[in-house]
Amino acid sequence: MRIIPAIDVIDGKCVRLTKGDYSTQIIYNENPLEVAKAFEDAGLRYLHLVDLDGARSSRIVNYKTLYNISTHTNLQVDFGGGLKTDDDLSIALENGAFQVTIGSIAAENPALFLDWLLACGTDRVILGADSRNRKITARGWTEDSDLDVLDFIQKFENQGVELVTCTDISKDGMLQGPAFDLYGEILDNTHVRLIASGGVTSIEDVKRLCDMGCEGAVIGKAIYEGRITLKELAELC
């Protein structure tokens, strides 16, 4: 299973939110590159980089942070947040994104999402299936839809999607454990390669997600708050 530490960026700084609420912002480091290098030095290979300014403004904003990390580390960066147009996608790829996570566009403009999937390939485009009370959300988790998360994933699996990152927003940043039941339901009813995100609190959570068959686990606040150490993650890798 892929161990994927997360860096969320606002104003070029490494921050974390709780349940996607921008008013809960905590700055953990003013230099995301420094954080990324610490991940790499610990032996980790992947990074989930989220442009929270981009998610809120519906256009890519923190591409310079992406560029700095991609050119100064060997981390494989999965980038998301604010990818709304062909230009946004090009900017992300040109600035070093190894993969892109697409959520809002998949919900709002499925045809464009499928165009990107065809153009970039199923190994580089990750479907972002973020939900609140099982309903898919968009635009930086500020807008709820009527789309059930499992139906959403199954629909795109039938159209070629292989990689899915799923976040239960009620778990995000709460340090109370992931949405194991939801992930189990997805794994039982699809064949997608599932990346679990949100609520990972302990190394035991990571091991359980691995045992369930998840492709990867995104880990954020638990690292910054010292609940999970980089040494533990490196040993697990």
Tell me the residue ranges of DSSP E strands in 93-192.
99-102, 125-132, 135-138, 143-148, 163-168
- The single residue of 8, 51, 172, 205 carrying the catalytic annotation is 8
The whole-angstrom distance between residue 214's C-alpha and the CA centroid of its chain comes to 14
DSSP assignment letter at 100: E
How far apart, in whole angstroms, are the C-alpha atoms of residue 188 and residue 87?
37
How far apart, in whole angstroms, are the C-alpha atoms of residue 151 and residue 157?
10
Number of neighbours of residue 179 by Cβ within 10 angstroms: 23
- SS3 sequence of 212-229: HCCCEEEECHHHHCCCCC
Distances (CA, A) of 201 to 111, 171, 177, 205, 219: 36, 10, 5, 6, 8
How far apart, in whole angstroms, are the C-alpha atoms of residue 26 and residue 15?
5
Note if 181 is an active site residue. no
The tokens for 139 are 């635009």
- The C-alpha angle with vertex 184 and arms to 160 and 108, in degrees rounded to 5, equals 45
- The single residue of 51, 130, 168, 205 carrying the catalytic annotation is 130
Note if 8 is an active site residue. yes
Positions annotated as catalytic residues are 8, 130
